[in-house]
A and B are shown apart, each in its own frame.
Chain A
């Protein structure tokens, strides 16, 4: 049968059912990330973000919510220049966050 439409998928983030193993691994490996309060300084200064859609604030935020869609592709856009770490008002070791995410992705490939 031709319907002319499809049933829209829900956009909500379900915090009850999301899998936090990858997220927790990163937090364990770089606990300074806990201090982030989402100001976006990292993203404002980001070299890669000036040229591409890379957004460290959003990447981290999605990670913490257990939302891993496109995380692998996104994290690969970082050039590890470390400018974000210089400006972070909460002293988050952002570079190690990126490295930790890459390691965690290998560890938890299955849940992506």
Chain B
């Protein structure tokens, strides 16, 4: 056994196979609503910056994840829907499945694992799918979460980076808090880069692009989404309390930004800062402001020089300008609330009890 007083990089023990090219892309239900621009940016990065072949199929549907985790959609239905997604992938001539959502990714992994242990369930799903749609499917050869692919190409992205996570005034690396989301690796640690205890998928991006990662005590704690916790209004206090626990734990490290893996987490880590600010008059960033929250697509887009407003950063609750200033990314404040056609989107109402 190694001596205990040396630091190991245990995340390296959790590696997964990530295909290099040719992916069937499955969109997230909620990412495009919460962070419009993220998925478009992702496809542009893959196709234009990394020259990859990605098939964006209008025929696919929800994975049923939210319905499944709130006990609304039965398992059999979920399996059949997922069987259909795989059938669409097979029909399109692809073998690598690329879901753009941690909930979906977790669910696909879970279903594939169930089929491995209970082949009769897979048979049933095949039968149900055939009866309903006359479709047949192959299981994906490679199941890759969208952030895994960015991780895979992080050094290539670093080579083409226009900006990095370095404070342009001080030359010091910027500090990032990463949050991989429970369903990315907590259910099946071996399917996530770094597993659940040494999450490295986002940390690897931050480090490759010049920043440092904050290892704070509540790093592995849930964002609080918890499906039912959020969806039932009376339970939302639990949801906020979990995000709050994370903010309280990370704030002393003075992070410059938070990056989320999962559409839900990024949403709650951003929006709950506003809620806590309004309800308790408390904010966690410097000068009474919030801590900017990015999705990893937005983070990658910023590094590659995409316009913050094209990425949709104006739709965030916590303003991202302090981070843009630190990274030296130019932006036109006047254009913040203009749509792609130049049309004014309207300014959001400012919080009453906090600055953000």
Chain A interfacial positions (CB closer than 8 Å to B) = 1, 3-10
The bracket for how many chain B residues form the interface is: 10 to 19
Which chain B positions have C-beta within 8 A of A7?
Answer: 237, 240-241, 244, 275-276, 279-280
Inter-chain CA distance A8–B275, complex, in Å, is 13
**Chain B positions 183-242 with a Cβ under 8 Å from a chain A Cβ:** 233-238, 240-241
Instruction: List the A side residues contacting B276 at CB < 8 Å.
Output: 7
Tell me whether B352 is interfacial, beta carbon within 8 Å: yes
User: Who on chain A is nearest to B244 by CB?
Assistant: A7
User: Which secondary structure dominates where chain B touches chain A?
Assistant: helix
B47 at the interface (CB under 8 A from A): no
Q: Are A1 and B278 in contact (CB under 8 A)?
A: yes
> Considering the chains assembled together, what is the distance between the CA atoms of A92 and B16 in angstroms?
57
Chain B 328-356, CB-CB to A under 8 Å as 1, else 0, gives: 00000000000000000000000010000
Instruction: Report if A4-B236 is in contact (Cβ < 8 Å); known contacts: A10-B241, A10-B245.
Output: yes
**In the complex, A68→B280 CA distance in Å?**
26
**CB-nearest residue of chain B relative to A11?**
B241
**Cβ of B92 to closest chain A Cβ, rounded Å:** 44
Instruction: Tell me the bound Cα distance from A36 to B238 in angstroms.
Output: 35
Chain A residues near B279 (CB-CB < 8 A): 3, 6-7
B interface with A by C-beta (< 8 Å): 233-238, 240-241, 244-245, 275-276, 278-280, 352
A1 CB contacts on chain B under 8 angstroms: 278, 352
Question: How distant is the Cα of A51 from the Cα of B218 in the complex, in angstroms?
Answer: 43
- Pull 7 A–B residue pairs with CB atoms less than 8 Å apart, ordered by A: A3-B236, A3-B279, A4-B233, A5-B234, A5-B235, A7-B241, A10-B241
Known: A1-B278, A1-B352, A3-B279. A9 touches B241 (CB 8 A): yes
The interface centre, meaning the residue of B233, B237, B276, B280 with most chain A CB atoms within 10 A of its CB, is B237
B255 to chain A, nearest CB (A): 21
Contacts of B236 in A (CB 8 A): 3-5
